[in-house]
Structure formats: C-alpha cells, structure tokens
Structure 1
Amino acid sequence: MAAKFLCCLPLRLGVLVIAFIQFLITGATAAAVWWSLLDANNEPQLTQKLKTGIILIGVVYTVSALVCLTGFIGALARKLGAIRTYLFVLYLTLILQIAVTVFSLISFYNLRHATEAVKIPQGAVIASAIIPIVIQMYACYIVSAYKNRLLQQKRDKDVVLTVNPVYAPVPGSEHAFPVPHANLPYVYGNGPHAFGNQGGVHHV
C-alpha cells in the first residue's frame, strides 16, 4: 500500500501542509526563544550554561523555519532536487534538535537541583522536548515518501522515453518520391483505340 499523509491524503499535500505548519511553529518558537533570551539576561539566577542552551535552541529553530519555507516552495514546484535538499536538512535538523534537547534537559535538571528559584513543571519540560522531535520524525517520513514518489515518476518517464522515442522526421530524398514516367503518348488518344470507336468502324 502506497504511503499517504494521515492515511488518506496525497503525499504532496502532506509535504505542503507539514512544511507550512512547521514554518509557522518553528518561526513562532524561534521568536519566543529569542524573546526569552532577552528576559534571561535580566535573571541573575540563570547560569551562563543555560543561556547558551537557549541560544542554541534559537539558532536551531530559526534555521528550521527557513528550511521549512524552502521545502514548501520545493513541493509547490515539484522539484526532486529541492525535495532532496529539504529532506537532507530535515534529517540534519532532527539530529541537531535531539542533541540540543538533550543538552537543554541536562542543563535544566542541573539548575533545578542547584536552586529552587526556577519553578517549571517537569511534565511540561519533557513534553516540550519530546513532541517537537516526534513531529520532526513524522515530517521526515512523509517527505522521504514523497521524494521516493517523485523519483519513481522520473524513472517511469525515462523508461517511456526509451521504449517510445520521440519521432524524428526523416529528411526527404530522391528515393522518397515516385519515379517519373517516360513521355509516352496517351493510349486512348490515337484513332484505333479512341473512345467510341467500335472495332475500328467509323460511323458517319
């Protein structure tokens, strides 16, 4: 069974929807992260290590927003090269996202044990770390399936062109035209064979 977006929708629509939604989410997240960094500069209880983690998160989500915009445009144009690039960057972003999330969680728990000034629910922290990764993994799956679909369509098109090549007209030559007949007299133009002559007898 061919892959579908949400089990019933076309893959191309899925790539468009995922890229657009990811662009909105990652763009809004990046803006929120950079805004929180401004507030973090006014919080003396936050360590420099945690601020570095916030900066890394902001960079990752900013790059992700730009990549999602590129993927949206590539899906609109149905460009295999653009989809391949988008998928590669999605995988790279997923790896970076996992690494940054692990680093941020370690920094959070170190700070949580060091001071009671920061009161953030543990469930909210874990959910905010896991859910984006799961969404990113599903996006990689859909874009990968769409990339394979475009690749298969390209192969099928190449096979058709190989089996049924485009007709090329053959240049004309003297062999393509009938041989002209000799300049002979018309058979029924002489007297004995003239039209209306019966047995060579002429009626007056």
Structure 2
Amino acid sequence: MAYGITSQKFLCCLPVRICVFLLSFLEFLSAGIIAGLLWFAVLSKDHHFDGRQKTAAIILASLMTILFIVCLCGFIGSVIRSRSLVSLYSSTLAWLLGFSLGTGIFYIVEMFSLSKAEFTQKCEDGTTDQDAINACQHVNETRFIVTGWLIFQWLIHLYVCIVVNRYVKQLEEEDSVKYHLKDLSSGVNPVYQRAGNRDSLDALATPKAAPYAYSDANHSFGSGAQA
C-alpha cells in the first residue's frame, strides 16, 4: 500500500484485494475444470454429438477457456498488484453482467409469456418421473422462484463488479503516488552556490548600469546623512 492511500473495503472491513484474490482464484479454477471437461468431451471418440450439440459444446468450451484466461489474469494481477491485469478482469466481469442481464430478462419474458399448459409441457419435457411432473404443476411458484433467483444472482454479480472496480481505482491511486514520489526522488535538489568572488561592498562602490532605483547616488542609502 502506497503512503497516503486509503485501502478500499468490502463487507465493511475486508480489503478489496482479498475479494479479488479469492474470487478470481475460484472462477479460474471452476472455468478451467469446465473448459477441460468440455474439450475432452468434444475431442474424445467416446462421446458422440450431433451437429448442433457439437457446435454448442465448442462455443461453450471456447467461452470457458477465455474466462479461464481472464480470471487467471485477475488472480495474477491481485498477487503482483498489476492495474492492467485487474482492469482486464474488471471489464470482463462487467461484460458478463450485461450478458447475464440480457439473457435473463429474455428468459423471464419468455417464461411469463407461456400459458400454464405450455409451461407445464415444456417443464415435463416427456419425463415419467412423478415427482418432476408434480413439481411442474406449480407454475406460478416456479416462475417467481426462478425470477427471484436470477435477481439475487444479478445483485451479487453487481456487487462483485463494484468491489473489483474499487480495487482498480485503488491501484490507479497507488501508481499515481508512486510515480509522483519517483519523480521527486529523481530530481536534482537545488544547492546554494556563491555567485562569484565579489566583495559585498563592491556593488555599492561600482553599481551596475541598470534601472535600479537606488543605484543613483541621490537616492542611495545614507545620501541624506549629515556629515
């Protein structure tokens, strides 16, 4: 922490650096596992996908790989206090929040636009499990539970974005202070030096021809003294 910089907090008392460290570590770990499993399933000869399923799996695996790389950058940035890496992580979280909001709102609108019969049919999806069939009968409860869960996730994601952005601003302030201190330390301190080997009375005896008010003898110090 640079001198004079106030450490930003989250959850009232914890430094934001801890949040970025833990969050990026957990996200890059989970994204790496998911990406690895998806790529293994796509490339393995034991798993057979049709055209659409394979395309969807490749797209999702690619997104998880990108997320893994970005979260790894955020984790490294929190360790070495790199503003550029943490800023990249912060921007990615903001884009993910926007994408989540867009897809979630579309899903909510689609869910509430279906009639009760259509919703039940899609929910059951041909299942023969009686418990699942019974659960699909609670249409209104399911709609509001799903909507509440999505809103809760958005609020958590938004708070995480705010916390990470706080750490980016803190790193910007630290870099600014460090740059200022470095600039001051590299400068040459002025040292008093004597102008020359000139007697202190020489200026009075031989004044220079300059527009100086008291260089004239009539205005000089002591000109009005009585002999």
TM-score normalised by the chain length of structure 2:
0.53
Q: 2:102 aligns with which of 99, 104, 123?
A: 99
User: Is residue 27–residue 61 contact of structure 1 (8 Å, CA) maintained in 2?
Assistant: no
Distance 1:25 1:139, change over 3 A: farther
Give the CA deviation at 1:28: 8.7
| Aligned twin of 2:16 | 11
Given the superposition, is the C-alpha separation of residues 123 and 95 from structure 1 closer, same or farther in structure 2, using an over 3 Å criterion? Answer: same
Q: 2:120 aligns with which of 116, 123, 130?
A: 116
Q: For residues 110 and 128 of structure 1, do their structure 2 counterparts lie closer, same or farther at Cα, with a shift above 3 Å needed? A: same
1:86 partner amino acid = Y
Does the 8 Å contact 1:91/1:140 carry over to 2? yes
2:177 alignment partner AA: D
Larger radius of gyration: 1
CA distance in 2, matches of 1:109, 1:156: 53
By how many angstroms is 1:148 displaced? Answer: 0.8
How big is the shift at 1:93?
1.0
> Aligned-pair RMSD on alpha carbons?
3.9
The residue number in structure 1 matching 2:170 is 149
Give, as a single letter, the amino acid of the residue that structure 1 aligns with 2:150.
Answer: A
Q: Where does structure 2 lack aligned partners over 5 or more consecutive residues?
A: 1-5, 37-52, 124-135, 189-227
Tell me the distance in 2 between the aligned counterparts of 1:103 and 1:24. 29
Choose from 25, 36, 52 the match for 1:20: 25
Q: Where does residue 73 of structure 2 map in the other structure?
A: 70
TM-score (norm. length: structure 1): 0.58
Equivalent residue for 1:162? 183
The equivalent residue for 2:83 is 80
Gaps in structure 1 of 5+ consecutive residues: 32-50, 168-204
Report how many residues are paired: 151
SS at match of 1:116: helix
Equivalent-residue separation in structure 2 for 1:99 and 1:87 (angstroms): 19
Structure 1 residue 133, shift from structure 2 partner: 1.0
- TM-superposed CA distance for 1:160, in Å, is 0.7
